[in-house]
Structure 1
Amino acid sequence: MIKSVSLLLVIVLAASALIQVDTKRSRYIDEFGRERIFHGINAAPWYPDPEGFDPNMSLSDVDADNLRSWGFNVVRLGMMWPGVEPERKQYNYTYLATMKKIVDNLYSRGIYTILDMHQDDFNRRYCGEGVPDWATVPGEYTLPFPLPIAAEMQTDPVTNYPNITQCLERNFAEYYFANQVADAFENLYKNVGGIQDDFIEFWGVVSAYFNGTEGVLGYELINEPFMGDYIYNPSVLYPEYTDVNFLMPMYEKIHQKIRMNDDTKIIFFEKAVLPAASGFRGGPGGPDYNDRQAFAYHIYCGPTSRDGTPSWLNECEALDGFFYDEIDIDLNRTKLAGFMTEFGAVPDNATSMDSIRYLMEAADARAQSWAYWQLKYYNDITTAGSGESLYDTEGKIEPRKLRELTRTFAPAVQGQVENIHFDSSTGIFSLQFLSNGNITRPTEIYLNEDIYYPKGFTVDVKPGGIVKSEGRNRIQLMMRTSERVLVRISPNL
């Protein structure tokens, strides 16, 4: 159903643009003033293969085309410290060039990249990854790994790595509480042996290399930082302690280093992994940088089975609701934009789909952006296996998961978003926004025609009319005036 006529068809896809933050509304905006929303996916920890296609390892032209067809407009890409600096002060520019090739390839399809210094459990010596071996030195008085949570593991005499089979006997999250892991984080925070200085310089090298790379949305400073050595420094158990005393001072130094090279991109930062609101009162750049810094957060359900399926769905959703309430507190207090840079990590079953749908609907209600964990397995020893990815063990797309993630949404809005809702059971989408006639680029809406609208769709716009663009899976609206607009899209039956 097409109604007339205060809308102007814009057939060509709008050009990608520099993204920053509207400090009055804490929303992402592009250089044209449109509010921007991101739906995306993770590709970490180790760098993907940029050539060909592999259901476990690639992030190539084929993958980028798929991501665009599914409506994803951001990838959170692991930017690994051991990849950049395998030996102290020796930087691997071949690795950086490979990562830039991936970033540029994604951007050619209109997909932005968040460069994420990814870690889980700090280092391979602790059944994890993230920090180079040379920066991982156990304290003199620490217990053998993984005491006190499990008996000591035998390690390779050359690498000091524990046997991978032994590692996988436990959920990786348990190893954070091993004394050596907790101590390693506290050593980083306290700059023992100068390793924090090295970490800051890592970000200096990365930001210098990617300065001017249009496809980089921003830099995420460290993934899921642990609280610190809770055995010898129990103060870290208080929810705000690590954020205030360890993380923010380190983040401020990294901010200064990055801003020497790149003063335009967004710096994303996380709180310590604790089930409570953070201790942050603002971002590492202070209020002057609120248009270029954002609070990154993760929400995961618990408890789950070993493959990630929620054990009790109602309890899972209640817990996720509590976590989102805590995030709301953080965002309101800091006056920063937010981004759910991880959630999901679930297999392709009905209970798991209910759980991620709950979080995506909660994100819609807040006009929040998100990135699902994750696209492929990428040999991540801290994940439950290929069940977390979009591909099954036979290399086939997991259909229920793709259906939930390829949601109808508005990546760019010509004005201020007031309300978003998408019902994945019916395909009905609604968007309410205050249009701004002074913005010269259109609202863009993504919709997956094959999955949700195989018989076509009906678009209603009040006031005015709409014309479908020529691009498949995408429509565009251009308002001539400033007014409240309601868009409704429904499948033809």
Structure 2
Amino acid sequence: MKLGLSVIASAMLCSVLSACGGGSGAADNNGGSAAAPQLRRDGSFLVDDQNRTVILHGVNAVWKLKPYAPPDTAEGFTAADADWLQAHGFNSVRLGVLFAGVMPQQGMVDAGYLEQIDRAVQLLAARKIWVLLDFHEDMYNEKFFGEGFPDWAVYDDGVPLLFNAGFPGNLFQPATSITYDNFWNNKNQLWDYYRAAWQAVAAKWARQPYLMGYELINEPWSGTNFATCLPPLGCAGFDENKLQAMQQYMLSGIRQYDPDNLVWFEPLVLISYGAPTYLGAKTPVNDANLGFSWHLYCPTTSLSLLGLDNLTCDLLDADVLHVGEAGSDRLGAARLLTEFGATDLISDLTRSTAEFDQHLLGWQYWAYKNWHDPTTSAGSNAQGLFTDDADLTTVKTDKLKVLERTYPQFTAGTPTALSFDPDTGAFSYSYTARTAGAPTQIYVPLAVHYPNGYSVTASGAQVTSAPNAALLTLENTAGATTVKVTLTAK
């Protein structure tokens, strides 16, 4: 059976590569050049090809309904959307690539689907926006009112879904959890098909400029043993024998087609509620370009009406951030918070983004547009940045004021402290200087926070950009070990 699947995988990849251009594959999206701008891990940080630390502020763009790729429409994703993201300082996008889209029929990769995704990839890369390819899933499949896995990969042992309890309620139902169990147990070699789909993706985009890697699975659910994985203990055995084993199997498959780009592991979804992760605790992964992605959603934001949300969420957020950082350190991986938000509650966004600055942590807000998410209430658009997805002038200005921040996009050194006040525009940043081939670059949102310009002071570096530039650049002073920068609104 394994030999047969290997032959199938080879045939699939040949088909995909041919569709991308004469068998060279989209590995030649950069003309075959090995010098495509991509990110690498340096400790817990990301660095660019000029050895500068990169901090990411981005958004999620996941089209959860068929065809599982954003259409070329105003409501979907066009050049205007990519321009908007660039103009507002967002330098990364977590782009949904669904297993159901890549392999809608068992053993058959849909090259046309990859081309639909590639349209968005190229729009973003042309504007130097880093792209993370995310095998997104929620509640496994449409049968459980979620998305991600194709119909043929649903093995529910004949157990029906009792009723639609929504998200995350359907995760706790036997039908959904049994289906996850069968995936973790590799029923009918599901892992091999999942890996073949990832290999097709890696073969296509291995040399894609501004690709920041592959996120192996979104918010994995442990299945029927979920009760043993709850906080505060978590489930070491499952993490080791199922979750890590599966992700390492995907990693080894991807490395056959892309030996260099980042591959992002993700812990169980329960990390968002403070459950520890044991990825890497017993068996090291030993990959030079490993990333660790996790999410933060405070479950008590509903207490905002009582004025208690900040008190409880401060404690819960601190726990989730600590668990995530410990997990990335254990794995030897770069860190990125790839989901938070999904709300119009400004106090929640203000608190969270301030915490991320304190932790020097890059992030990707959920979500850019609402895009008829099947896991949310009908008609709700609280997740997105716009009141009307088809009209970019309907941006929610209060939300944008918090998310469009002054922040260091590239640093010729290692960050040590960062803070920004969205109410006053006050910005402070320090880093340990090191030699780099390009300057430190700080994004400054003029229209949102500095309509009258700004004043900047720097020690250990010289400002090289024009007054009130939207991209503030600095060159480290010769011999300086520490650089400090402050910026205030005029």
> TM-score normalized by structure 2?
0.85
Which of 248, 259, 284 aligns to 1:252? It is 248
Query: Cα RMSD over matched residues?
Result: 2.5
Are the equivalent residues in 2 in contact too, given 1:457–1:491 (CA < 8 A)?
yes
**How many pairs align?**
441
Q: How does 1:146-165 map to 2 (within 5 A)?
A: 152-153=162-163
Measured at CA, do residues 257 and 35 of structure 1 come closer, stay the same or move farther in structure 2, by a change above 3 Å?
same
The separation in 1 between residues aligned to 2:221 and 2:478, in whole angstroms, is: 50
2:60 maps to 1:42: yes
SS of 1:450's partner is: helix
> Which residue in the other structure is 2:184 paired with?
189
Aligned partners of 1:378, 1:283: CA distance in 2, in Å? 40
Assess, with a 3 A threshold, how the Cα gap between structure 1 residues 259 and 473 changes in structure 2: closer, same or farther.
Answer: same
Give the distance between the partners of 1:18 and 1:303, measured in 2 at CA.
Answer: 38
2:52 matched to 1:51? no
Specify the alignment match of 2:39 in structure 1: 19
Q: 1:203 to 1:472 in 2, by over 3 A?
A: same
Q: What is the aligned partner in structure 2 of residue 159 from structure 1?
A: none
Measured after TM superposition, the shift of residue 226 of structure 1 is 0.2
Name the structure 2 match of 1:7: none
Q: Secondary structure at the match of 1:478?
A: strand
For 1:104, the equivalent position in structure 2 comes to 122
CA–CA separation in structure 1 for the residues paired with 2:50 and 2:99: 35
Give distance in 2, aligned partners of 1:299 and 1:381.
Answer: 20
Q: Give the aligned partner of residue 262 of structure 1.
A: 258
CA distance in 1, matches of 2:178, 2:269: 15
Deviation at 1:283, TM superposition (A): 11
Query: Relative to structure 1, is the Cα distance of residues 448 and 210 closer, same or farther in structure 2, using a 3 angstrom cutoff?
Result: same
Of 378, 382, 385, 2:375 maps to 382
Q: CA separation in 1, counterparts of 2:258 and 2:454?
A: 44
Residue 218 in structure 1 maps to residue 216 in structure 2: no
Query: What percent of counterpart residues are identical?
Result: 28
Give the TM-score normalised by the residue count of structure 1.
Answer: 0.84
For residue 282 of structure 1, report the CA deviation from its aligned partner: 6.3
Read off the aligned partner of 2:405 and give its amino acid letter. Answer: R
* Higher relative contact order structure (alpha carbons within 8 Å, sequence separation ≥ 6): 1
Aligned pair partner of 1:84 in 99, 102, 105: 102
Of 279, 297, 301 in structure 1, the residue corresponding to residue 298 of structure 2 is 301
Report if the CA contact (8 A) 1:171-1:306 is conserved.
Answer: no
Matched, 1:278 2:280: no
Instruction: Structure 1: state its 5+ residue gaps.
Output: 1-14, 146-151, 154-166
Closer/same/farther in 2, CA of residues 31 and 301 from structure 1, 3 Å limit: same
CA–CA distance in structure 1, aligned partners of residues 374 and 60 of structure 2: 15
Q: Paired residue for 2:361?
A: 368
* 2:278 partner amino acid: G
Query: Which structure 2 residues correspond to residues 466-481 of structure 1 after superposition, within 5 A?
Result: 466-469=463-466, 473-481=470-478
**Greater Cα offset, 466-475 or 201-210:** 466-475
Deviation at 1:131, TM superposition (A): 0.5
The structural deviation recorded for 1:130 is 0.6
AA partner of residue 280 (structure 2): R
Partners of 2:361 and 2:375 in 1: how far apart?
27
Q: Is the alpha carbon distance of 1:490 and 1:307 closer, same or farther for their aligned partners in structure 2, counting shifts above 3 Å? A: closer
Shift, 1:191, TM fit: 0.9
In 1: Cα distance, 2:41 partner to 2:479 partner:
21
Letter in 1 for 2:367: Q
Per-residue CA deviations over 1:450-483 (Å, capped at 9, x if unaligned) read 0100001001111453243499521111224242
Q: Flag the structure with higher helix content.
A: 2
CA distance in 2, matches of 1:464, 1:311: 42
Match of 2:417 in 1: 419
SS of alignment partner, residue 490 of structure 1: strand
- Which runs of 5 or more residues in structure 2 are unaligned? 1-34
